[in-house]
Amino acid sequence: MKEASRRVKQLLEAISLTQDEEIDCSTCLDLVPIYVDRELAGADAARELPALRQHLAVCRECLEEYEALRDLARLEAAGGLPGRDELLRQLRRERPEA
Ligand SMILES: [Zn+2]
């Protein structure tokens, strides 16, 4: 995790320098796990990583990656990955219209 946080710091610094610019998909995908972590930690991830939030708003591919990671992280945070049936139940509950 130490290596990861150094990488995070570098990315955050890079992004804060270019906050008005759009980030590309590869930067976005680097940041998505961090964004999800921050969200789960109760932080205001959208405010901390506005460039990422903005990219997710315009890039469907990255948004799907984000949603998949977020769902997975939530399940893990809720006490380990459930069985397939429970997984489907939870996904259905989160997206009632799907
Ligand atoms: Zn993208």
**52-82 tens-digit pLDDT:** 999 999 999 999 999 999 999 888 888 766 6
- Structure pTM? 0.62
Distance of alpha carbon 11 from alpha carbon 90, whole angstroms: 33
24 CA from centroid of ligand 1 (Å): 6
93 CA from centroid of ligand 1 (Å): 27
72 CA from centroid of ligand 1 (Å): 19
Is residue 23 scored above 60 in pLDDT? Answer: yes
Distance of alpha carbon 98 from alpha carbon 91, whole angstroms: 9
Contact call for residues 56 and 63 (beta carbons, < 8 A): yes
Distance of alpha carbon 96 from alpha carbon 57, whole angstroms: 21
11-29 residues labelled b (16+ CB within 10 A) or e (exposed): beeebeeeeeeebeeebbb
Q: Give me the chain's average pLDDT, please.
A: 82
5 CA from centroid of ligand 1 (Å): 22
Interval 15-33 mean pLDDT: 79
Is residue 32 scored above 90 in pLDDT? Answer: yes
Confidence of residue 20 (pLDDT cuts 50, 70, 90): low
